[in-house]
Amino acid sequence: MTGSADRRVHLAVYDSLADWETGHTTAYLARAGYEVVTVGPGREPVTSIGGLRILPDLALDELRPEDSSLLILPGADLWSAGDCLAPLARAARAFLDAGVPVAAICGATAGLAREGLLDDRAHTSASPFYLAQAPGYAGGDRYVEADAVTDGGLITAGPTEPVAFAREVFRLLGVYEGEVLDAWYRLYHDSDAEAYFVLQQAGGR
């Protein structure tokens, strides 16, 4: 890998990952000069829901929080198919314990719920009912009805909010701020044409 840890983010990849949920996030992080490194359960190729074949850059046992500025966990059918992705949830715990942020969307929030990482943090997901089905989840009173939620170093979002998910990542990492961040969100979430010109002037697109 090249680059320093503060300009490197790790995207977890695994079979059945939801291609669309992290596309805005990774594309604009790369545009902002971040190195996006994929990490799989192993180094074997994985296949997304959309049929994309991805060869991970790293295996999970090679991942270290100190080498990263963020761990991104996309949704996937596998999050609801037993405990095969539980090691990724444990990696999220290691990142948060080390003070390195984690961003989880859709099914990945259920994985974090099973790991106990949502019990004491404000969070969101597909719905309170969805998370209530996660064994051991005790964070119902911390659930927030919002498009995306950031609590300390943890970002969560539901499956219909990839743009809000990206917005929270950009805010947390300082990629875009203030008027530029608001304009980026309005352009890609609301199709606000005026926001395009704000971004053009600020060099944020």
Cite the active site residues.
Answer: 106
Q: Are 159 and 106 in contact (CB under 8 A)?
A: yes
Q: Is the dihedral of CA 124, 24, 61, 8 positive or negative?
A: negative
Query: What's the rounded Cα separation, in Å, for the pair 140 and 113?
Result: 10
Task: Give every CB contact of residue 201 below 8 A, 6+ residues apart in sequence.
Answer: none
Element (H, E) at 2: none
Query: What's the rounded Cα separation, in Å, for the pair 92 and 40?
Result: 14
Q: Report residue 107 as tokens.
A: 């099914």
Return the amino acid letter for 66: E
